[in-house]
Amino acid sequence: MSFFTLEGTSQNARAGTIKTAHGDIQTPIFMPVGTRGAIKTLETSHIESMKAQIILGNTYHLYLRPGHELIEKVGGGLHGFMDWSGPILTDSGGFQVFSLSDLNKVTEEGVKFKSHIDGSYHMFTPEKSMEIQKALGSDIVMVFDECPALPATKEALHKSMELTVRWAKRCKDYELKPHQNLFGIVQGGLHQDIRMECLERLEELDFPGLALGGLSVGEKNEEMVEFLNDFTPKMPAHKPRYLMGVGKPLDILNGIRAGIDMFDCVLPSRNARNGQVFTFDGPMNIKNERYKEDPKGIDPELNCPLTKRYSRAYLRHLFNVGEYTAGLLMTYHNLYFFIELTRRAREAILEGKFDVFYESFYKRYTANQIS
Amino acid sequence: MSFFTLEGTSQNARAGTIKTAHGDIQTPIFMPVGTRGAIKTLETSHIESMKAQIILGNTYHLYLRPGHELIEKVGGGLHGFMDWSGPILTDSGGFQVFSLSDLNKVTEEGVKFKSHIDGSYHMFTPEKSMEIQKALGSDIVMVFDECPALPATKEALHKSMELTVRWAKRCKDYELKPHQNLFGIVQGGLHQDIRMECLERLEELDFPGLALGGLSVGEKNEEMVEFLNDFTPKMPAHKPRYLMGVGKPLDILNGIRAGIDMFDCVLPSRNARNGQVFTFDGPMNIKNERYKEDPKGIDPELNCPLTKRYSRAYLRHLFNVGEYTAGLLMTYHNLYFFIELTRRAREAILEGKFDVFYESFYKRYTANQIS
């Protein structure tokens, strides 16, 4: 039984199944982010009822608080700690030590960084990242990669890519738990040649899955789409492809069109807490005066099991008076929307009609800027 | 079919059923407070799953935001607005205009007050309070009463009681919706004679239920218990008795022992957000270091459907890192505890063994100060 089975394609778009010890994941899939052992505002019953197939945990945050040893001791890992029985993917902590910490110092050995919580110093190496992710017990483990500061020269990006590959090898040499699957991360900015070199060198290590890192980090959206359309089809077809930290609904559909299988992003949950909810008619800002007396649900087409019973007027009220309940309901709604979006995309791919689905979604989503 | 049926007594403690258009309420009962159209951190599915039989809404808050007219227009009232089909009790707004507003001026006509939100001036009269509660469509409506500033002389309390009675008459004269039941409020501080005079004069107006206001507002706990033990049994037996804004678990049991049927308090939800959870072994502070690696559930005996799956260590972590999810889970737990406490008390009363239940609960609850 292989880790990834490709079940259908529609031009470059793919539908498949990833098998893990904690269950199957039908791709393409959006993965909600549970940074510190919970998806913000929600609890595990919500993750179950929204039919999330896999969630993310953050190595950096969980290492600092409550600590991976505690999670392993109390819960036997993150699954038990948060009582989530489905698949979990953990990032390597790399992105956070580069972006969240005031100060960090990169050497061949790893990254020394300052905690954003108490200013204490810590060192992440490829081995340390593996040790933490092993304790967390995630089903998909990410290699510890360097995320270079942008903009960067081509030379700097190439040098960074080489370090990422050397670190990937050290991660590969670390013994994880038998159920864990280690993914490589392809870096190289928008340079096809650096990315291709990175891919080839990672392929020598033969990871069961591959991610694209360093995208949606400041480049123009068209540049990212163009890059994905060129590069993604060249990635090995028999391995799942994960586009890290992307993105908005149209970014996700563009990724799927290019051949990406897995997505994660804090955007749906973060924006929910700021009042932005996603619908098939485009994003809407629930704070808008126009929803003041609107008795309709947020998105009748979505039929979200948790939020369909509430009117826009009620949600707007909750948001405006600052009730936590607003964040809960809008977060759930947005994640349900993103998961449903990938589910519908999958259906269309299996019917060989992804382009029709894409055009139809795009047209409706952008027609009425209803917010 | 009478509004209230007394089904059993155990000394002064009573078990009964209140019939409303939105369902029956089995007493004694604790009523969760949904100040602004939601129980803080929870949504309506939670209220349903915790088997709350009746919830509260706040007239003052809902009048200011989003406004009672909007609630009636969009939802046909508060039930529809928040999609809660069970019974609702609304307060009169009196307590808030006296306690929350910097400035208020009491006349025979009513109370002029300043909004705590934008400083705008408003006037609540008995008729205005009825108009708002009518629009909200609550099943149990409270008369608009004066809540005198304490400490107050006996003379001032008597004068205030007389105003409360005159206002009660004006509320009674206001035509509510057919399904609404107006409760009178007995005031008079700890003075049995003023309270009794108030009760007798309210009885002339024959409200279907009676509340005790102005308790747990600074007097000693023993004074309140002594007052309740003396006064409550003198209240008419065929009407439900509601002790407003009280209290802690032992206060509630003391109230039940004195003959009270209905309780509400923000304490379980407010304290949850500060990390205090209630258990049959007493209150515990989830922030305490001793729970850091504790794999047990908060209260194995309670068997709370939502929180029993999580360890104390996990909840402590969520609380310590500031996840909203902690507030949600602990609020649910505490409300479930308070509702379960009244449910068990009711069972004991129906078996004629309330005193045994009281002693046993008291002993265990106070034995280990586990927090």
Residue range(s) occupied by CATH 3.20.20.105 in chain A: 11-271
Angle between helices A354-367 and A249-258 (to 10 degrees): 160
Residue A296 near chain B (CB below 8 Å):
no
Indicate which residue of B91, B145, B261, B299 is catalytic.
B91
> Burial level of B175, CB count in 10 A (0-12/13-18/19+)?
exposed
Report CA-CA distances (Å) from A353 to A229, A256, B2, B26: 18, 13, 63, 57
Residue B73 near chain A (CB below 8 Å):
yes
Indicate which residue of A145, A251, A261, A264 is catalytic.
A264
Q: What is the CATH number of domain A11-271?
A: 3.20.20.105
Helix/strand number for chain B, H first, E second? 14, 17
List the one residue out of B280, B258, B284, B255 whose CA is nearest residue B271.
B284
A91 assigned to active site? yes
Q: How many CB atoms lie within 10 A of CB B239?
A: 22
Determine whether the interchain pair B323/A83 forms a contact, defined as Cβ–Cβ distance below 8 Å: no
Q: What is the CATH number of domain B4-265?
A: 3.20.20.105
Give the integer Cα–Cα distance in Å for B44 and A95. Answer: 38
Determine whether the interchain pair B328/A41 forms a contact, defined as Cβ–Cβ distance below 8 Å: yes
Q: CB–CB of B368/B290 below 8 Å?
A: no
B264 assigned to active site? yes
Does residue A290 sit in helix, strand or coil?
Answer: helix
pLDDT at A218: 86
Q: Residue A252 corresponds to which amino acid?
A: I
For residue B329, the chain A residue with the least C-alpha distance is A43
For B130-141, the DSSP string reads HHHHHHHT-SEE
Q: Output the CA angle B181-B183-B189, nearest 5 degrees.
A: 170
- Tens-place pLDDT, residues A158-210: 999 999 999 999 999 999 999 999 999 999 999 999 999 999 999 999 999 99
Q: CB–CB of A41/B328 below 8 Å?
A: yes
Determine whether the interchain pair A40/B318 forms a contact, defined as Cβ–Cβ distance below 8 Å: no
Return all residues near B50 (Cβ < 8 A) that are at least 6 apart. B32, B305, B306, B332, B335, B336, B339
For A332-346, the DSSP string reads HHHHHHHHHHHHHHH
Indicate which residue of B139, B261, B264, B299 is catalytic.
B264
Q: CB–CB of B3/B209 below 8 Å?
A: yes
List the one residue out of B32, B31, B34 whose CA is nearest residue B18.
B31
How close is the nearest chain B Cα to the Cα of A293, in Å? 6
Determine whether the interchain pair B313/A40 forms a contact, defined as Cβ–Cβ distance below 8 Å: no
pLDDT tens for the 371 residues of chain B, in order = 699 999 999 999 999 999 999 999 999 999 999 999 999 999 999 999 999 999 999 999 999 999 999 999 999 999 999 999 999 999 999 999 988 777 789 999 999 999 989 999 999 999 999 999 999 999 999 999 998 888 899 999 999 999 999 999 999 999 999 999 999 999 999 999 999 999 999 999 999 999 999 998 888 999 999 999 999 999 999 999 999 999 999 999 999 999 999 999 999 999 999 999 999 999 999 999 999 999 999 999 999 999 999 999 999 999 999 999 999 999 999 999 999 999 999 999 999 999 999 999 999 999 976 65
Q: Which of A65, A314, A323 is closest, CB to CB, to B40?
A: A323
Angle between helices B312-321 and A68-75 (to 10 degrees): 150
pLDDT at B1: 66
Q: CB–CB of A241/A260 below 8 Å?
A: yes
For A145-208, the DSSP string reads -----SS--HHHHHHHHHHHHHHHHHHHHS---TT-EEEEEE--TT-HHHHHHHHHHHHTTT-S
Residue B240, preceding peptide bond in cis (omega within 30° of 0):
no
Residue B100 near chain A (CB below 8 Å):
no
Residue range(s) occupied by CATH 3.20.20.105 in chain B: 4-265
Strand partners, B209: B183
Q: CB–CB of B16/B41 below 8 Å?
A: no
Q: Which stretches of chain A score pLDDT less than 50?
A: none
Widest pairwise Cα distance in chain A? 60
Q: Which of B44, B75, B317 is closest, CB to CB, to A66?
A: B317
> Burial level of A5, CB count in 10 A (0-12/13-18/19+)?
middle
pLDDT at A1: 66
How close is the nearest chain B Cα to the Cα of A93, in Å? 18
List the one residue out of A41, A85, A37, A79 whose CA is nearest residue A61.
A37
List the one residue out of A111, A125, A228 whose CA is nearest residue A168.
A125
How close is the nearest chain A Cα to the Cα of B309, in Å? 7
Residue B320 near chain A (CB below 8 Å):
yes
Hey, what are A212's tokens?
Answer: 């694209």
Return all residues near B67 (Cβ < 8 A) that are at least 6 apart. none
